[in-house]
Structure 1
Amino acid sequence: MSPLDFLSDLLDPDLAFLGKALAVAVMSSIVCGVVGTFVVLRGMAFIGDAVAHSVFPGLAIAFVVSGNLVLGGTIAGVLTAVLVAVFAQNRRVKEDSVIGVFFVGSFALGIVILAQAPGYAGSLQQFLFGSITGIPDSDLLVVGGMGLLVLLVLSAVHKELVAVSLDRESARAMGLPVFALDLVLYVLVTLAVVISVQTIGNILVLALLITPPATARLLTDRLGVMMLLSPVIGGLGALVGLYLSWAWEVPTGGTIVLVLTGGFLLAWFLAPRGLLGRRLARRRADAHTEDALAPGADDAPVPAEARA
């Protein structure tokens, strides 16, 4: 299938679900790309994974009672994020241990709850690996509104979150409410995960949160540029992944993740700060050093302009 055929299918009223799938995938990728910048900056990949699992019981409860999945996942994820932030204040137990306890417990609770619903196996697969082509119109509006809310909150506390992410102790000395900012970030990560679960599923959602920012990190050292590149990379990955999954009839969520992973590998090898880029820079530096140490290099005549 050519890209033009894919565009034609997107505009076909009989295939309206495809356009909705693309909209949700791109919105999820943009929100996760921006929020994920802070996750990568703070080395919080495990927290993102924990939040992705912590929303599972809320999704399961909403499914069993025929409620709104996004709302159910949000409530469960926010509750778990608050519990993690509170329990992590006890320094006798490290934060990653607290996170591990809660995310394993939450995921187990979700499986137990979901087992009570008819068609358990099929429902579990939908939650774990996504069901992007079956998203109702109501969820599309919820995802759009929630994504806009996340971006607005991030813009409001951007400077404070950057300060805490770079140096927590200095931020505390400056009088910033570190605990409150941690809580805000946990909640934002939760919301980003919830709106992405139906796109690529509970298992793969961490890829949207981590891979685009990690790829952007290989391309730039500037945080502002990284925050712009990350959602662009995520959005392009979602678009290409959806196109390939539609053309080849393969699972959408997994295809999007593989496209994003391929982009990361390309950046790892080809970016100026990637493997090949560093080797080329090292070779140029070695060549410059050899020229400087070559016999007679110091005795070379000084140009007239330099003498003047």
Structure 2
Amino acid sequence: MEFSDVFDFSDYDRLIPLVTNSLWAGVLLALVGGLVGVFVMNRELSFAVHGISELSFAGAAIFLLFGFDVVFGSVIGSMIAALILSLLGDKSKDRNSIVAVLMPFGLGIGILALALYPGRAANKFGLLTGQIVAVDDPKLASLTVISAVVLTLLVIMWRPLLFATLDAEVAAARGVNTKALGIVFVLVLGLAVAAAVQVVGALLVLALLVTPAAAALRLSKSQLWVPVLSVSFALVAMLGGILLALGGGLPISPYVTTISFLIYLIARLIAFVKSKGVKEKAVVRA
């Protein structure tokens, strides 16, 4: 197999305008995913992201089956999952068990709805793997509204949420309502997942909401640089994935996940080299 069989950039100048909306959606999702991902990692909610995405997929698939707005269905599914997790999963152990129950249920209901859907196969599997040209003007408008709500809530709650995340007991002692913040954040996470599912698909949403932040935390502990790096990594993965998918003619998700994974590997390598250098200096000083 030759390179040209996998990638064909001969008509790239004419194809770029076809994904303008996807590129803008990628920017929005990278901004949302990068910022939300910082709290997802620090609050140990990585597994919850996957559980919410399964119900988001189920909601989108059911709405697709009955001819309703897919984005709205995705939001409904995410909000149901977020409410269940926030109200019943106070402890990490309880939350993990609830997610383990939600995941197969959501996936099963979603697959059933897709099996009954009589439309094009691309619409079916796009909910699982993402679609590069599926972001039309109405969907971009919906994603913009969802992203604006998520970012506004994050700006309002950033400092108390960060305080509650890093030291919940001290935050509670100083009057921060950590329980209410936790519930609101899980709902914000649900909105972020619902937005991401529309582009990267339900199965691979972790590549946007977890991997960039995980890579950023390997490189820094700064409260400023971690979100900056996380958003930057998410932007590279999203925009790079879209542009590569355009030339490759394949779903966007394999490219986004591969770029995210490579960024994470590089971040781990840099962190390893830095830690090794610090240890060597300590040995020399000793």
Aligned-partner Cα distance in 2 for 1:123–1:22: 20
Q: 5+ unaligned residues in a row in structure 1: which ranges?
A: 290-308
After superposition, what is the alpha-carbon deviation per residue over 1:113-168, rounded to whole angstroms, capped at 9, x for unaligned? 33221158654422110112122210011111211111110010112211221223
Residue 205 of structure 1 corresponds to 205
1:28 and 2:29 aligned: yes
1:165 maps to amino acid: T
TM-score for the superposition, normalised by structure 2: 0.89
For 1:218, the equivalent position in structure 2 comes to: 218
For residue 173 of structure 1, what is the amino acid of its counterpart?
Answer: A
- Name the CA distance, whole Å, in 2 between partners of 1:281 and 1:171: 33
CA contact (8 A) 1:168 1:178 kept: yes
Alignment partners' CA distance in 2, 1:9 and 1:58 = 35
TM-score by length of 1: 0.83
Per the alignment, residue 298 of structure 1 pairs with none
Residue 225 of structure 1: how far off its partner (Å): 1.6
**How many residues align structurally?**
279
Structure 1 residue 287: deviation in Å? 2.5
1:131 corresponds to: 131
Question: What does the per-residue CA deviation read over 1:54-77, in whole Å, with 9 as the maximum and x for residues that have no partner?
Answer: 212210122112222111111121
Corresponding position of 2:105: 105
Alignment-derived partner of residue 239 in structure 2: 239
Q: Which moved more, 1:71-80 or 1:172-181?
A: 172-181
1:82-161 matches, within 5 Å, as 82-89=83-90, 94-119=94-119, 122-161=122-161
1:36-86 Cα deviation digits (max 9, x unpaired): 100011111111111111212210122112222111111121122112222
- Say which of 273, 282, 285 aligns to 1:285: 282
| Alignment check: 8 A CA contact 1:85 1:179 kept | no
**1:165 counterpart SS class:** helix
Query: Could you tell me whether the CA contact under 8 Å between 2:38 and 2:230 is conserved in 1?
Result: yes
CA distance in 2, matches of 1:115, 1:193: 23
Question: Quick one: distance in 2 between partners of 1:172 and 1:208?
Answer: 31
The amino acid of 1:242's aligned partner reads I
Change (3 A) 1:93 1:254: closer
Q: Structure 1 179/102 Cα, relative in aligned 2: closer, same or farther at 3 Å? A: farther
Contact 1:17 1:134 (8 Å CA) reproduced:
no
Query: Superposition pairs for residues 226-265 of structure 1, below 5 Å?
Result: 226-265=226-265
RMSD: 2.4
TM-aligned CA distance change 1:179 to 1:105, over 3 Å: farther
Contact 1:114-1:120 within 8 A present in 2 as well: no
Q: Secondary structure at the match of 1:133?
A: coil
- The equivalent residue for 1:182 is 182
Provide the rounded CA distance (Å) in 1 between the counterparts of 2:165 and 2:93: 21
1:292 match: none
Letter in 2 for 1:269: L
Tell me how far apart the structure 2 counterparts of residues 157 and 49 of structure 1 sit (CA, whole Å). 24
Q: Say if 1:221 and 1:18 are closer, same or farther in 2 by CA, change over 3 A.
A: same
In structure 2, stretches of 5+ residues that fail to align are none
Q: How far does residue 9 in structure 1 lie from its aligned partner after superposition?
A: 4.2
Secondary structure of 1:132's counterpart equals coil
Q: Which residue of 2 aligns with 1:18?
A: 19
Q: Within 1, Cα distance between the matches of 2:185 and 2:16? A: 37
- Rounded to whole Å, the distance in 1 between the matches of 2:74 and 2:203 is 14
Match of 2:272 among 247, 253, 275: 275
